[in-house]
Structure 1
Amino acid sequence: MAEQLLAETGSGQVYIPPASPSHVFVSQLSSSVVVSVPSLPSPAPSPRQSGSFGPLALAALDPSIDLLLHFQTLPRGRTRNAFLRGLLEHCERDELLLLSTLLAPRLKRDFLGELPPELALHVLSFVEDAQTLARVSCVSKSWRNLLADEHLWRTMSDRYNFNVAAPGPAGSFRRQFRRAYLTERNWRGAGRLVKSNRTPDEGIVTSLAMDDELVVVGFNNHNVNLYDVHSGAKTATLLGHQQGVWAICLVSRGGRLLDPSEHAPVPLHTPTAPPPSSSVSMPEPEQATAPALGLGLGFAEPGVTLARMYRDEYATGENCPMPAAADAEALRSDVCGATRGWGQPDAVVVSGSSDRTVRVWNARTGECVHILSGHGATIRCMKALQNRPIVVSGSRDSTLKVWDIERGVLLRTMVGHTDSVRCLDVFANQVVSGSYDTELKLWDVDTGQCLRTFHGHTQPIYAVSYDGTRIASGGLDQITRVWSAEYGWCQALLQGHNSLVCRLQLSPHRLCTGGADGRLLVFDVSQNYALTHRLAPHALTSLAGLQFMERGAAAGCLANDLLVSAANDGRVVLTDLRTGAEVRELSEKCDQVWCVGFRNDRLVVVCSRHSKTVVELWSFRPEDEDRPDA
């Protein structure tokens, strides 16, 4: 054999150094070159390139093996390609596996790691799915470090409309987003029963209030029970009323005293012309009203179409300035029956009873601080003002009374209704009352003056909601009306229930009504009160509770765009307000639901099971954070 071999290729000749059969064998087949090389050492556990496999290291093991060194001198292109193809044809399976393991990492590129951090974060900002971002953080340490950026998770919170607060020194937007995201997911498919409390008697639950620390439940057997919102354990029973408790207020501890002049309510104006708009929720919006109904609503001519009237000047909102959203939410009453305190160290419970007294309790000690007398009949409704020690109560004696619960004195009595006051709602220093006399009245709490009377209902009023600009009311006439607090006009007349309208909730975007017929109607406030969903999760049974929370409505988000409803059929149903679809039942079916309410990631269901009153506390917070200090 010659000392040197020349192999012909398509582009010239390749120099092959002399070697023994145990090292290199070259055979020329047609125009290709086949080279057999000895097996390489076993691969290291890591696929990364190691200096021990470099050509210089191999040549040092056997000086006769300088093939790899010479490979570097070959011209790039067809010459190298032909050499490598011939080499692969003579590789064993385990050798090919080794090559695959070594080549795979070299063919990948860390496109994020090679970018400046600012550009990498900009790329990640286009990822809208939270689970995708979570998977990205598991790829590598460098990607995980990128995903630790606070601005990225704050952007995700805004995208999901999670109203997360600025984190403290030990917190982060990522942690808050994670909690909010998992909480909403638990609302839709998980959750756990924290505590189920059974009362020894068969008392009927009449009222419910809750904040971030306490749950307060009023019974018709004159008891008021307090429960810890985290553990669900009963902390106290407030004894003192001689008859059933029908109204409850919870004033949270802390807060600050609010000067009434800091937030002036919407100014009132005297209408100088007939109401420019009203609306009826009907399948055909252009349908003309009956002459009597049109005149009753104040239309200039009978038979005018409601849709055309509603598209008038008033529908633009130019004559009805809305308060700032943040101010409005801070001043209106809470749907859970709790209000912010005025700086007092302990939470305060206020209860109204059929014994015609209002009692003020220290929630921590259970002590009755004040017994307030003055009403001549059952106290049926009650609300506390935000950040002020002021409570307004309504009674079957047709009056409203304003109490200073810090000093325990009656401030004033508001007289004007001619029948029982059934419901009321507050905003700033104003209160709206609904009565069996079919009238709504708007009052100034600080002066006792009746600012406006709203006429239109033909039967007793059972429910009212006030956001500082609009007043929604419903009653026995099966109609929901929306009024302008500023001008006194009826903005909308909404139909669809076949029985008493007993539940209302009004937000800047939605109005939801519930009736004794078991129906739930959802209207879009921004679209001229268009009916978006007609729901019937509780067929032919009276609603016992209705509450929804929109996205961004609460820090940490909770139950975003979800509606919780309960009725006498024993079901607690969760509904998606975006689609109108029933999501799930939140509790096991019971004999009857008395009350239901939720706040953030806690749900309270008060029901009857096997002739016993049961208070259930459910948690939807992630289990690894389900602690009071988490």
Structure 2
Amino acid sequence: MEGSASGSSSSATPSKPINLPGAQRRNADSITHSQPRPLPTPGPRSIVSPIQNLLPSAPASPPTPAPSPTPHKQRLPSWSTANDGEDAFLREARPHFSRLDSQERQRFLAEILNLCNSQQLSFVLNYVSPRLKKDPFKSLPNELCLRVLSFIDDPKTLARASQVSKHWHGLLSDDLTWKKLCEKHSYRRLSGAGVLPGSSYHSDVSGLPHSPQEAGFGGSSNKKGFQSEITPQNTVTPRRRQYLSYKSHFKQRYMVETAWRTGGQAIAKHITPDQGVVTSLHLTPKYIVIALDNASIHVFNADGIILRTLQGHMMGVWAMVPWGDTLVSGGCDRDVRVWDMSTGENTKVLRGHTSTVRCLKMSDDKTAISGSRDTTLRIWDIEKGICLNVLVGHTASVRCLEIHGDLVVSGSYDTTAKVWSISQGTCLRTLSGHFSQIYAIAFDGKRIATGSLDTFVRIWDPETGVCQGILQGHTSLVGQLQMRGNTLVTGGSDGSVRVWSLEKMQCIHRLAAHDNSVTSLQFDDARIVSGGSDGRVKVWDLRTGMLVRELSTPAEAVWRVAFEDEKAVILASRAGRTIMEVFSFSPPLDTSADTFHGEGEGSPERSSGIYEDGGHMRDDDDVPFPMRS
């Protein structure tokens, strides 16, 4: 009762403030604050704003569970309001910033940036940089853009530029840019009307093994001599899509040139069980033909798959020349034989020479000219199988000959070269000046080049027979010659290869190519390929004279090397056996005449640029050509 009375009196009578000393008052306050307070009842005036809760004087209210969901108007949680303080600040700052003028905005941003550390400033830089990029080609007419692009001669730069945006990709699809780039890289068109002739292509088709008859020709009477050590990987040879634009032409040529420098693959390798000297090698769009001193002629298709062996010569075959499906051969048995390589049939046997047939050429599909150790040349009608003319004048073996139009030029061991008329069957002029046997000759209709045992190379005018120049530098027999335009490349038994300018009659490059004789030599507009008796095959840059690479592994000796744009064939001796290797430098087959999608390690590097116009680089943007490091 007393307690209740006191309680009621205390509630009825207001308490008076009691003045306590400072220490006692602080203790009383701590006791009061330590006691739990009753939870406030929610009401329109009792809700405390979040900002008030953050004030130091406001006591923190304990967390309360969310109210149970009601069936009326359920509301999903909003993650955007998770940081209410930040959103409230942004809501207030955004309109405030928009009301500022330019100078005030700059001052405001400067103050904000001064408060940032290096990591935050780096974030700002990465965020702002793409928005500051402007596409210069958007502000210029297309003609001026193409003019700017015409000064770029690096294909890798153009490849990356084509992936910057759709607009850039469209500009770089213009054929004029690629035409000028083809001219800068000396990628000449091979035919008129903007269309290149189709060439044989070796597609990547694996898992198609060849039968023993195809690969090793051990089970057929007309396929013997070679055994396949490595099955050719590329077995399907579709025609390459014709090039309809300079862009596709440049892409294909660029990929081939890159493969010659760093790529390529051996698609076939054949071994003969017996040791035979390879005397002749010819590479055509349809066939690979080799002749040996054991009377055999082996015919392969363009992929290096053996087709047949031509048998008929009784002694070594030392000369042959193909023309389409026709092959004309000659050798130590003194016969000249005509073959149909598509069937293997020996269609004609031409007799008349009294000694070894040493050289053969064809002026057209019906006429062949042979040179022999019997000192004569014979002109044959291979269709009728008759001798049309016997060219008499040399006093020693006819070692080499070349044909251009109606003229044939022969080189002999009698130290002279002679110019003959095929139609008339007469000697027009004799070229005298060498002091020893002539072993090699080149003739392009304007100039005649002869290489001799006297170490000199002489240049002649076929019209007058006058010696226009004497090229000195070799120290031994000059047995390899090839002439293209104003460039002459020679190879000698001293192991050196020399590049000459026929305009200045000067040596441009002196290549220490091999440790022994140069046994094979060929060049085109871009490269020189040489083989030597040291067993090595080397590729050289024609323009700089620098060594590009070595093909294949070293052998005991290299007999012959021949190449075309996308293929090289090597005949060498290893472990007492003759080996044929076929290398392909063909790019992947196009699915489109104008586009190429970079894949794998051959893809160009992707640009990280992004322009204000939304020109994002896309993964499916076309790449003009692949790039290899």
For the criterion TM > 0.5, the same-fold answer is: yes
Distance 2:336 2:138 in 1: 67
Match 1:196 to one of 236, 244, 269 = 269
Contact 1:438 1:455 in 2 (8 A): yes
Match 1:150 to one of 165, 172, 175 = 175
Q: Structure 2 vs 1, CA of residues 76 and 494 (structure 1 numbering), >3 Å: closer, same or farther? A: same
1:315-334 alignment runs, 5 A limit: none
Q: Give how far 1:140 is off.
A: 2.3
Name the count of aligned residue pairs: 464
Root-mean-square deviation (Å) = 2.7
Q: Does 1:547 align with 2:619?
A: no
Q: Give how far 1:219 is off.
A: 0.8
Contact 1:512 1:522 in 2 (8 A): yes
Q: Give how far 1:483 is off.
A: 0.9
Contact 1:402 1:412 in 2 (8 A): yes
Distance 2:428 2:513 in 1: 39
Q: Structure 2 vs 1, CA of residues 190 and 97 (structure 1 numbering), >3 Å: closer, same or farther? A: closer
Q: Give how far 1:224 is off.
A: 0.6
Partner of 1:571: 536
Distance 1:214 1:170 in 2: 23
Q: Give how far 1:545 is off.
A: 0.3
Supply the AA of the counterpart residue of 1:235: L
- Once the two structures are superposed, residues 423-479 of structure 1 have per-residue CA deviations (whole angstroms, 9 ceiling, x without a partner) of 001111100001111111000111101111111112111111111111111112222
Q: Give how far 1:407 is off.
A: 2.9
Q: Give how far 1:409 is off.
A: 2.4
Partner of 1:247: 319
Give the secondary-structure state (helix, strand or coil) at the position aligned to 2:163: coil
Partner of 2:143: 118
Contact 1:247 1:379 in 2 (8 A): yes
Contact 1:475 1:500 in 2 (8 A): yes
Q: Does 1:422 align with 2:448?
A: no
- Once the two structures are superposed, residues 356-408 of structure 1 have per-residue CA deviations (whole angstroms, 9 ceiling, x without a partner) of 111111111111111111111111001112x5421111011111111122333
Contact 1:246 1:352 in 2 (8 A): yes
- Once the two structures are superposed, residues 317-351 of structure 1 have per-residue CA deviations (whole angstroms, 9 ceiling, x without a partner) of xxxxxxxxxxxxxxxxxxxxxxxxxxxxxx21111
Contact 2:471 2:506 in 1 (8 A): no
Give the secondary-structure state (helix, strand or coil) at the position aligned to 1:411: strand
Q: Structure 2 vs 1, CA of residues 93 and 577 (structure 1 numbering), >3 Å: closer, same or farther? A: closer
Distance 1:157 1:239 in 2: 46
Distance 1:523 1:97 in 2: 59
Partner of 1:180: 253
Give the secondary-structure state (helix, strand or coil) at the position aligned to 2:548: strand
Match 2:326 to one of 348, 355, 364 = 348
1:368-447 alignment runs, 5 A limit: 368-385=346-363, 387-447=364-424
Q: Structure 2 vs 1, CA of residues 105 and 372 (structure 1 numbering), >3 Å: closer, same or farther? A: same
Give the secondary-structure state (helix, strand or coil) at the position aligned to 1:526: coil
Partner of 2:508: 532
Supply the AA of the counterpart residue of 2:410: S
- Once the two structures are superposed, residues 116-153 of structure 1 have per-residue CA deviations (whole angstroms, 9 ceiling, x without a partner) of 32222221111111111111122223222222222211
Q: Give how far 1:502 is off.
A: 0.9
* Greater Rg over alpha carbons, structure: 2
Q: Does 1:493 align with 2:470?
A: yes
Q: Does 1:612 align with 2:577?
A: yes
Q: When the two structures are superposed, what TM-score results if normalisation uses the length of structure 2?
A: 0.69
Distance 2:120 2:472 in 1: 79
Supply the AA of the counterpart residue of 2:581: E
Contact 2:323 2:365 in 1 (8 A): no
Supply the AA of the counterpart residue of 2:330: G
Structure 2 residue ranges without an equivalent (≥5): 1-48, 55-86, 197-241, 597-629
Q: Structure 2 vs 1, CA of residues 74 and 389 (structure 1 numbering), >3 Å: closer, same or farther? A: same
- Pick which of 219-228 and 577-586 moved more: 577-586
Distance 2:277 2:490 in 1: 24
Q: When the two structures are superposed, what TM-score results if normalisation uses the length of structure 1?
A: 0.69
Q: Structure 2 vs 1, CA of residues 602 and 22 (structure 1 numbering), >3 Å: closer, same or farther? A: farther
Supply the AA of the counterpart residue of 2:511: L
- Once the two structures are superposed, residues 62-101 of structure 1 have per-residue CA deviations (whole angstroms, 9 ceiling, x without a partner) of 8994653454443323x22112223445679998777555
Distance 2:320 2:93 in 1: 91
Q: Structure 2 vs 1, CA of residues 572 and 21 (structure 1 numbering), >3 Å: closer, same or farther? A: same
Distance 1:148 1:469 in 2: 41
Identity %: 42
Partner of 2:214: none
Match 1:510 to one of 465, 487, 496 = 487
Q: Does 1:458 align with 2:435?
A: yes
Distance 1:66 1:497 in 2: 89
Partner of 1:311: none
Partner of 1:167: 195
- Once the two structures are superposed, residues 222-256 of structure 1 have per-residue CA deviations (whole angstroms, 9 ceiling, x without a partner) of 11111122x2111111111111111010112xxxx
Q: Give how far 1:519 is off.
A: 2.1
- Pick which of 144-153 and 441-450 moved more: 144-153
